[in-house]
């Protein structure tokens, strides 16, 4: 394994969707509520959009269904998308019943819609989920906090690099994922 591959593997694991959502969603909840009371709503969003799906992937990996969390064979990804859709939907329902701030609910709905599109595209082409999630979170942080958060797209570029360097995606697949994530953030902006 080369130094580049080792670096890419470490970085892609650190910046995987679960971790990006765990860092970003509480910040989105904070902005949505205008104070700390939004943080628990953001953590619920991170749980439903990132931790539950990652736990499902890990459970299936341990059962031998997949070799690792990357699930490089796109034909095996449909069950993951269904778990993500169900988990985000359940989280959005809990937020609605619990009276969560509108901004965090909009973020969840944008992530749900993005996942529907990821699933649709994935039936014919292996779009990058990691890039889509990183892009959506960076874009949504810019929407709810400040345009300065667009600087987070430097991190998105790093995620894209890791996915290509490891051979998991082509440049086009990472660019498409990034574009879809940005569109999700744009949709959230339109709903706020």
The string of pLDDT tens digits covering residues 99-137 is 999 999 999 999 999 999 999 999 999 999 999 999 999
Q: From CA 71, how far away is CA 25, in angstroms rounded?
A: 24
Which residues, 6+ apart, have CB-to-CB distance to 103 below 8 Å? 28, 29, 31, 32, 33, 38, 144, 192
Question: In degrees rounded to 5, what are phi and psi of residue 139?
Answer: -65, -40
The 10s digit of each residue's pLDDT in 22-63 is 999 999 999 999 999 999 999 999 999 999 999 999 999 999
Handedness of CA 41, 180, 124, 155 (dihedral sign): negative
**Selection from 19-28, 57-66, 72-81, 139-148 with the highest mean pLDDT:** 19-28
Q: What is the pLDDT of residue 69?
A: 79
Tens digits of residue pLDDT in 151-167: 999 999 999 999 999 99
- Cβ atoms within 10 A of the Cβ of 168, count? 18
Average model confidence (pLDDT) across the chain: 94
What per-residue confidence (pLDDT) applies to 65? Answer: 85
Report the 10 Å Cβ neighbour count for 35.
9
Three-state SS at 126: coil
pLDDT of 192 reads 61
Domain regions of the chain by residue span: 3-191
Cβ proximity of 192 and 143 under 8 Å: yes
Q: Would you place residue 75 in the very low, low, confident or very high pLDDT band (cuts 50, 70, 90)?
A: confident
> How does residue 73 score in pLDDT terms, banded at 50, 70 and 90?
confident
Count of CB atoms situated within 10 Å of the CB of 87: 21
95 has a pLDDT exceeding 90: yes
What pLDDT score was predicted for residue 6? 94
Q: What is the pLDDT of residue 72?
A: 81
pLDDT computed for residue 148 by the predictor: 95
């Amino acid at each position: 394994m080369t130094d580049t591959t080792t670096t890419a593997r470490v970085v892609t694991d650190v910046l995987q969707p679960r971790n990006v959502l765990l860092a970003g969603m509480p910040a989105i909840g904070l902005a949505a509520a205008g104070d700390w009371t939004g943080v628990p709503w953001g953590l619920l969003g991170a749980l439903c959009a990132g931790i539950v799906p990652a736990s499902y992937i890990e459970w299936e990996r341990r059962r031998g269904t997949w070799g690792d969390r990357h699930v490089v064979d796109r034909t095996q990804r449909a069950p993951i998308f269904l778990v993500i859709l169900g988990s985000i939907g359940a989280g959005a329902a809990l937020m609605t019943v619990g009276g969560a701030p509108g901004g965090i609910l909009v973020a969840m709905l944008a992530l749900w819609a993005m996942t529907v599109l990821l699933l649709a595209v994935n039936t014919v082409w292996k779009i990058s989920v990691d890039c889509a999630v990183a892009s959506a979170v960076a874009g949504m942080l810019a929407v709810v906090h400040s345009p300065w958060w667009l600087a987070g797209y430097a991190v998105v570029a790093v995620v894209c690099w890791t996915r290509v360097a490891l051979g998991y995606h082509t440049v086009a697949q990472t660019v498409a994922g990034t574009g879809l994530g940005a569109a999700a953030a744009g949709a959230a902006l339109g709903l706020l």
